[in-house]
Amino acid sequence: MDSLKTQQVTFKVFRFNEETDYLPYYNTYTLDVTHEEVVLDILNRIKWDHDGSLSYRRSCRHGICGVCAIKTNGKAVLACKTRLFDLIDIFGNEITIEPLSTKRAIKDLIIDKKDFWDKHAQAKPYLEADIDEHPAQENLVSPHDAEKLLEADYCIQCGACHYSCPSLEINEQYMGPAAFAAAYRFSADVRDDASIERLHIVNEEAQGVWDCVKCMECAEVCPKEVNPIEKITKLHNMIFEAAVAKNNVATRHAVGFAHSIEKHGLLDEGELVRYSEGNIGVLKHVPVALKMFAKGKIVLPWNMPKSDKLDEIKKLVKSSSTVKF
């Protein structure tokens, strides 16, 4: 493949004009692409050589401004950073080019990103601190403290993760991976005073971190290796450490694992559901549980299997626990 200098690719490009079109449609272009061309080069060639009305966002052309994010065969990419030959390796020679979110399209590949910016703002993506207006010296952050921000600082707000997140697609209140990465970025900053306030925001049901389905797509898709799901895990930890955690089904679900492991080594699946939901909430699971029971899928408490060398596990749970609930 590397020895090939050009390849013929068929592009199906999403077209839609909010002002004139009732439904979107696709235009097809077959082009020879070279091994050094990125998706943005192709969009430019289509616009300059074939159809000047094709609309898309681009600015820096260096993977920095974040405006050129689109989807190719469902994979969100920065158009200016993604080589066609790499896409051909994954998908073959037919590439469908769409906006990050087709339902938010304004014109062709340009979307209304308002929900992204609103949620980003909701995370308070700035430092809140009492500033001495006439400081005697610089406000220094040690390298050790700066490292705690991990890669959260690299985010260019491109929206690739946000518009690939399945939770957000279904639950419109969910703040999404980029907003959480920002919440972590500022809450982990030693100069910031609003950490607890932010933790309360991301701890809210429906909008907060508990609605993450842990699909890992945000880590996969991010072009800047921000790894938002890792930051989401950190926020979970901070919520417990700062005692911001409420006593609800989501928190009990996480804590329940520790209880169960201490008792059996293994997870007691039935008890986890009962503990998480509470004695009343658990009732809604009874119909499915009965069906499972009939098929030999429910282990009764007195038959609960245990890990060998359970004493080791009990000892480690006692000695290695770092938080309380």
Partner 1 sequence: MEKLKYALFTGCTAKESTPEQMMSTLAVANKLGIELVELTEASCCGASHLQDYDDFLSLVLNARNIAYAEKHGLTMVTICNTCQLNTAMTKHRLDNNAELKAKVNAKLAEVGLEYKGTSQITHFLYAIIDDFGLDKIKEMVVKPLSQFNIAPFYGCHNIRPSELQNATHKSPENAYNPTSLDDLIIACGGANVDYAEKNKCCGFHAELQSPRTAAVLTGNAVAGAMDANADWMVTPCPLCHLKLDTQTHHASVAIGREVSLPVLHMQQMVGLALGCTPAELGLSHHVTKVDFI
Which 157-186 positions form the footprint of partner 1 (CB under 8 A)? 166-167, 170-171
For ligand FES, which residue of 37, 66, 72, 84 counts as binding (CB under 6 A)?
66
Contact at 8 Å (CB) between 199 and 170? no
51 Cα distance to chain centroid: 35
> Is residue 229 a contact point for ligand SF4 (CB under 6 A)?
yes
For ligand FES, which residue of 39, 42, 43, 67 counts as binding (CB under 6 A)?
67
> What are the backbone angles phi and psi of residue 193, rounded to the nearest 5°?
-110, 0
Q: How many CB atoms lie within 10 A of CB 97?
A: 25
Part in contact with partner 1 (CB under 8 A); list of ranges 107-115, 126-134, 139-147, 245-253: 245-253
Closest contact distance (angstroms) between CB of 191 and ligand SF4 is 22
Going by the DSSP 8-state scheme, the letter that residue 255 receives in this structure is: H
Give the Cα separation of 240 and 228 in Å (integer). 19
Long-range contacts of 285-292 (CB under 8 A, 24+ apart): none
End-to-end CA distance of the chain: 55
> Is residue 217 a contact point for partner 1 (CB under 8 A)?
yes
For ligand FES, which residue of 7, 27, 64, 154 counts as binding (CB under 6 A)?
64
Contact at 8 Å (CB) between 249 and 275? no
Residue 161 interface partner, choices ligand FES, partner 1, ligand SF4, none, CB cut-off 5-8 Å depending on type: ligand SF4
208 CB contacts (<8 Å, ≥6 apart)?
175, 201, 202
Nearer to partner 1, 130 or 308 (CB): 308
Residue 301 interface partner, choices ligand SF4, ligand FES, partner 1, none, CB cut-off 5-8 Å depending on type: none
For partner 1, which residue of 62, 287, 301, 302 counts as binding (CB under 8 A)?
287
Going by the DSSP 8-state scheme, the letter that residue 245 receives in this structure is: -
> Is residue 249 a contact point for partner 1 (CB under 8 A)?
yes
Residue 181 interface partner, choices ligand FES, ligand SF4, partner 1, none, CB cut-off 5-8 Å depending on type: ligand SF4
Mapped onto helix, strand or coil, the DSSP state of residue 26 is strand
For ligand FES, which residue of 39, 43, 78, 255 counts as binding (CB under 6 A)?
78
Give the Cα separation of 209 and 201 in Å (integer). 9
Q: How many CB atoms lie within 10 A of CB 254?
A: 15
Give the Cα separation of 310 and 242 in Å (integer). 31
> What are the backbone angles phi and psi of residue 253, rounded to the nearest 5°?
-60, -40
Length of the chain: 325
CA torsion sign for 54, 56, 59, 61 is: negative
For ligand FES, which residue of 28, 36, 49, 60 counts as binding (CB under 6 A)?
60
> Is residue 106 a contact point for ligand FES (CB under 6 A)?
no
**Contact residues: ligand SF4, CB under 6 A:** 59-60, 64-65, 155-161, 165-167, 177-178, 181, 212-218, 221-222, 224, 226, 228-229, 232, 267
**Contact residues: ligand FES, CB under 6 A:** 58-61, 63-68, 78-80
**Contact residues: partner 1, CB under 8 A:** 73-75, 90-91, 166-167, 170-171, 205-206, 210-217, 219-220, 227, 233, 236-237, 240, 248-251, 253-255, 257-258, 260-261, 265-267, 269, 273, 276-277, 287-288, 291-292, 295-299, 305, 307-309, 312-313, 315-317, 319-323, 325
